[in-house]
Structure 1
Amino acid sequence: MKVIIFGATGMLGQGVLRECLADDRVRAVLTVGRSPTGRAHGKLREIVHADLLDLAPVEAELAGFDACFFCLGVSSAGMEEESYRRITYDFTLSAGTTLARLNPGSTFVYVSGAGTDAQGRRMWARVKGMTENALLALPFEAYMLRPGYIQPMYGATSRTPFYRLAYVVARPFYPVLRRLLPSAVTTTEQIGRAMIAIADHGAPKRVLGAADINAL
């Protein structure tokens, strides 16, 4: 299969890219983002594009793909709703509507979050929920991943210094968390493998939590 990854320079995207490059089912990977990944591989190609709200200049390079793994996201901490919505909803739907038109019937896997609720009281949960609903209405096979705690693996790192430190501190406790809360924790490796499995043969439901991700 041929896949597109948005957000491949973030912590989760780094992990997903690693799994795609390592999996024989994936024969070509295209990353799209505002900065290069710094990776080199025989089946990897990159598009560095500054304006993710306007993909028209690179549309010709986005056709002919089987799946999109959308890993781009940002923490809502300290953000106004308008700014958070621009990144979370507008960027995602810009990619989603473009790819649904260019690759109808393809698979689109979106990384949402545990607690997402379009009618919820928390701003981030509402915006994520609106994004999920909009994607599910598009003419492709859309799947929403709602992981809880994500443990970075194989050198994947957050670009936010505070989160980098938090993950270093939490790493020794991950095996305990996994045993105590198996339905609430996962890893970048498991998410990447789950995405490939979904693109390869689908999943039993369209909205998947951490336990579903780990099972896949």
Structure 2
Amino acid sequence: MKIILTGATGMIGEGVLLAALDHPDITEILMVNRRASPLRHPKLAELIVKDFTELASYRTQLTGYDGCFYCAGISSFGMTEQKYSEITFDTTLLFAKELVLLNPEMVFFYLSGVYADSSEKGKIMWARIKGKTENALNELPFKAAYSFRPGFIVPMKAQQNVRLIYKGLNLIYPFVFPKQTLTYDEITTALTRTLAVGYNKKILEIKDLKLIARQAGMAE
């Protein structure tokens, strides 16, 4: 499988990337970043795109991929709804629309969040916009589009971009709330299996990701 991955310089994107590099079914990864990553690997290539409105200039590099793990994102803390929407909704759809033109058989995976609001009518700003983004992606003519909503994710030892609060929570959270905790291996295994065989839900909650990862393990 050939994968495009965004958000590799962020915490979750970096973790998914590291797990994807170790996954035997993933043969090539193109990370699309706004700034360079120090990570090097035989499977890995990097494309620096500082302005996603100029994606048309990179069509050759973005063509020929089976899937996209879209892990780019930003916290809504301290942001206006308009600015958060521009980054979370507008930029994501801009990127996705370009990819679907170039790779109509692609499977697109969007990093959403627990409690994202698919109704788009709730009181929580970030949840509404995440839900709006999920819904809009489902309307694009990809082979399939899925949104995954991980909860707490156990940091990988090799990760460089781990927030201090996560390091502290990792000492407690997985033991107190194991059903709400995922590993990056579980996430990447679940996404890779879903890319290969599909899934009967477009929203991949924690329980779905765990179930798919277990199914992948039993199928080996």
Whether TM exceeds 0.5 here: the answer is: yes
Residue 96 of structure 1: SS of its match in structure 2?
Answer: helix
Question: Counterpart in 2 of 1:171?
Answer: 170
Matching of residues 59-208 of structure 1 within 5 Å? 59-117=59-117, 118-140=120-142, 141-158=144-161, 164-179=163-178, 182=179, 184-208=180-204
Q: How many residues align?
A: 209
- What is the letter of the counterpart of residue 204 of structure 1? N
Separation of aligned partners in 2, 1:203 and 1:138: 17
Structure-1-length-normalised TM-score: 0.91
| CA displacement 1:180-209 (0-9 Å, x = unmatched) | xx1x32233322222222222222311111
Runs (5+) with no aligned partner, structure 1: none
Matching of residues 41-56 of structure 1 within 5 Å? 41-56=41-56
Separation of aligned partners in 1, 2:50 and 2:76: 21
Question: Counterpart in 1 of 2:23?
Answer: 23
Question: Counterpart in 1 of 2:57?
Answer: 57
- What is the letter of the counterpart of residue 124 of structure 2? R
Q: CA deviation at 1:105?
A: 2.3
Q: CA deviation at 1:36?
A: 1.8
Q: CA deviation at 1:157?
A: 4.4
Separation of aligned partners in 1, 2:39 and 2:161: 16
Separation of aligned partners in 1, 2:96 and 2:19: 22
Higher relative contact order (CA 8 A, sep 6+): 1
| CA displacement 1:139-180 (0-9 Å, x = unmatched) | 011001112222222332446xxxx1101111111332333x
| CA displacement 1:33-64 (0-9 Å, x = unmatched) | 10122111112110011002331111111111
Tell me if the contact between 2:155 and 2:167 (Cα under 8 Å) persists in the aligned partners.
no
Q: CA deviation at 1:103?
A: 0.6
Residue 55 of structure 1: SS of its match in structure 2?
Answer: helix
Q: CA deviation at 1:85?
A: 0.8
Tell me if the contact between 1:54 and 1:94 (Cα under 8 Å) persists in the aligned partners.
no
Separation of aligned partners in 1, 2:48 and 2:108: 20
Tell me if the contact between 2:28 and 2:44 (Cα under 8 Å) persists in the aligned partners.
yes
Separation of aligned partners in 1, 2:185 and 2:78: 29
Q: CA deviation at 1:98?
A: 0.6
Alignment RMSD (CA, Å): 1.4
Q: Which moved more, 1:61-70 or 1:116-125?
A: 116-125
